Every structure is written in structure tokens, then in C-alpha cells.
Amino acid sequence: MTTPTREIHLASRPTGQPTLENFRTVETELADPAPGQVLVRNTFLSVDPYMRGRMNDVKSYVPPFQVGAVLDGGAVGEVIASGEESLPVGTTVLHQAGWREHALISAKAARPVDVARVPASAYLGVLGMPGLTAYVGLQRIAAMKEGDAVLVSGAAGAVGSLAGQMARLMGASTVVGSAGSAEKVAWLTDELGFDAAVNYKDGAIGKLLAGHGPFDVYFDNVGGDHLEAAISHLADFGRVAACGAIASYNDERPSPGPRNLMMLVSKRLTLRGFIVSDHADLAAEFHQRVGAWVADGQLVFRETVVDGLDQTPQAFLDLLAGGNTGKMVVRLP
Ligand code: NDP
């Protein structure tokens, strides 16, 4: 028997801002699982900013997507046929074969997840890669301490909204966020417990932050002018967790770096980049600590849910343009 299904391919490499023409929906058929394999009906797909980098034909920490091949990424789904005893039909699993309705994968590439207390989609966000990214960035990269004043950019997104809340729960003296709309800023202060938040579209980010610092820790999701402003507003011995630089992901030419790098010297700052997958050793601690905060309601999360495989490319474009609050996911029927 075979299972008819559909998947999203990279039709062409984007130049600058991606468009829907860069993607194509393709029909295909999958065989039944061989021993050691499972067939999964995906229920939620993840769209993530790092995928933009994989659309360029450049060497990086993950190989580029291939033109004419399916785009993959985080997904959760239900096992509907199994060649592996430990993953029987009905098990919900997390895996990396996203952007498709069904996935035929090695059982070793599928991790069972507990959906008794949280929705399956949480494993793409708060209890998944973005949540671990926030935790690693604060705990290990910025070495956050109780009493630190923390600034988070991209604060209403998946990673940022969790980083800000985790900073509060780890004893920050103050947590300030930046995001791209009045609604997002209100969400940060009214519901997530940020002490203050600024809409970076209201003016120069450096000026908007005046009066909120100095900060001991900057969790950087944005780069560019945000990083320059943060360096100016960091306290002596401040630490930057360089997580992402979304302001430049669609740049066709490299944008100039911060003009105030001399402040790294004068303020004795530390700026450290990281990739979450290098820090899997913190996963157990993360699941225990953050799982408990989610379970007792101290840490809340939001998802922006888009329906249908066909909408996946648009969801990705909207993510890059700020159309999400919290984690952007695609729900499949
Ligand atoms: P988000 O949910 O934060 O979505 C992206 C957000 O970026 C948008 O919602 C938008 O919000 C904001 N944005 C887009 N363009 C700009 C701009 N020019 N200036 C400021 N903000 C902008 O995505 P994630 O939480 O998944 O990822 C956040 C960051 O973390 C990204 O840089 C990503 O690459 C990085 N990352 C890094 C990892 C690592 O291992 N180092 C792992 C996972 C993520 P707004 O409306 O506020 O503009």
C-alpha cells in the first residue's frame, strides 16, 4: 500500500525578501514503513527564522535546502503505521521532517512526547527548540544572575517572549522588551510581566531605551540597530547572548556592524553567539525547570496558528514580517 500526500518544495532560492514563487506544493506517495521506520501524520509544522538562511546556497551550521527538494523543519504528528515496537500507532512524536502532510522516517529520528498536559504544538515552541534557546541564552551564554537588569529584543516572538519571562522567573531586577507593534508591547507588559516594553517602530531604538537601562544582560534576537543601541545601554561588564539577527536575514549585502564596538573595551562587555543544538546537555534541566513553570502557570505562551499545508509558505513570510505573536505554527487537519 502507499499513502498519497503533499509536501512543500523550494522552487527557487530567494534573493532578498522571499516570495510565494520561491515555494511549490508537490503531490507524492509514501510506502508503508519498513522495520525500524514509522509513518507519521503531521499535525503541526514549525516555521522558523533560521530557515531563511537555509534557503541561501551558503555553508553554515546546517546545510542549505536544495532547490526541487522538500523543505524540512520541526514538526509534531501522530504515528499512523509503525515498523517499530516502541512507537506504536497513536503515539505523538516530535521530529524534523516538517513542511509535509506525512513523513516516513526512521524511528530513531522521532521522539515521543507527552501530550497529556500540553498541546502537541508546545513541543515546537515553549517546550521545544525555541524554549531551549531562550533558556540556554540566559542561563549559559549570558550567565544571568539574580538581580540582573535584562533587555530582550524580538520580545513578542517565540524565543523572546519566553526569554523575558524566564529572566523574570530567574530573579531579574527588571525586564525590558522591544517589539514591533503597540499590541505586542501591551502583551509584554500586561500579560507576560515585562517591566517595560518599547515599540521599535516608534523611533530610534537607542532613544526609546533611554531611561530604561543600564542593562546587565542583552538577549539579542534582532542584531543591527538593536545591537548597537543595546551596547550603548549596557552596564560595565554587561553580557550579550547573541541569538539571532533577524533584521538582516533578507539583506542582499551585509549591513554595517555596530558603530560603537569600542564600548566592548571601555565597558568590558562580553558578546557571545550560540547555536542551541550545541547545548543539548541542558535539555533535561530545561524540561524539568521550564516544564514546572508552564505546569503551574508562572510561564505562559501564545501561538499564532495558521491552517493548512498550502499556507505554510505564507506563514513563513508573515513570520519574517512580524505577523506572529508568540510561536508561529501551521496546523494540519
Ligand atoms: P520570532 O517568533 O521572534 O519571529 C520573528 C520576529 O522577528 C517577528 O515576529 C518580528 O516581530 C521580528 N522582526 C522581523 N524583522 C525585524 C526587524 N527588522 N527588526 C526587529 N524585529 C524584527 O522568531 P523566533 O523566536 O523563532 O526567533 C527569534 C530569533 O532567534 C531569530 O533571530 C532566530 O534566528 C533566532 N534563533 C536562534 C537560535 C539559535 O540557536 N541561536 C535558535 C532559534 C532561533 P516584530 O513584530 O517585533 O518586528
What pLDDT, in 10s, does the model give residues 18-55? 999 999 999 999 999 999 999 999 999 999 999 999 99
137 CA closest ligand 1 atom index = 41
Q: What is the whole-number distance in angstroms between the Cα of residue 32 and the centre of ligand 1? A: 38
| Whether residue 158 has its Cβ less than 6 Å from ligand 1 | yes
What pLDDT does 287 receive?
Answer: 96
Query: What rounded mean pLDDT belongs to the chain?
Result: 97
What pLDDT does 256 receive?
Answer: 84
If you average pLDDT over residues 5-14, what whole number do you get?
98
| Whether residue 274 has its Cβ less than 6 Å from ligand 1 | yes
254 falls in which pLDDT band (50, 70, 90)? confident
Q: What is the whole-number distance in angstroms between the Cα of residue 246 and the centre of ligand 1? A: 5
Please give the share of the chain, as a percent, with pLDDT higher than 70: 100
Residue with CA closest to ligand 1 atom 35:
244
If you average pLDDT over residues 193-221, what whole number do you get?
98
Amino acid at 121: S
What pLDDT does 25 receive?
Answer: 98
Residue with CA closest to ligand 1 atom 15:
247
233, 178 Cβ separation under 8 angstroms: no
Alpha-carbon distances, residue 61 vs 91, 94, 139, 261 (angstroms) = 31, 21, 22, 25
| Whether residue 304 has its Cβ less than 6 Å from ligand 1 | no
200 CA closest ligand 1 atom index = 20
d(CA 266, CA 59): 34
- Taking alpha carbons only, the member of 322, 281, 269 closest to residue 151 is 269
Q: What is the whole-number distance in angstroms between the Cα of residue 109 and the centre of ligand 1? A: 26
What pLDDT does 258 receive?
Answer: 96
180, 193 Cβ separation under 8 angstroms: no
Q: What is the whole-number distance in angstroms between the Cα of residue 154 and the centre of ligand 1? A: 5
CA atoms within 13 A on the CB side of 300: 12
> Any idea which residue has 516608534 for its cell?
202
If you average pLDDT over residues 237-244, what whole number do you get?
98
pLDDT at 129 over 90: yes
The answer to whether the pTM exceeds 0.75 is yes
Which domains, from first to last, does the chain contain? 2-124+302-331 (3.90.180.10), 129-277 (3.40.50.720)
What pLDDT does 107 receive?
Answer: 98
pLDDT at 231 over 90: yes
136 CA closest ligand 1 atom index = 40
What pLDDT does 257 receive?
Answer: 87
CB within 8 Å of 38: residues ≥ 6 apart = 79, 81, 82, 83, 84, 87, 93, 104, 105, 107, 110
299, 126 Cβ separation under 8 angstroms: yes
**How confident is the model over 147-194, as pLDDT tens digits?**
999 999 999 999 999 999 999 999 999 999 999 999 999 999 999 999
What pLDDT does 255 receive?
Answer: 86
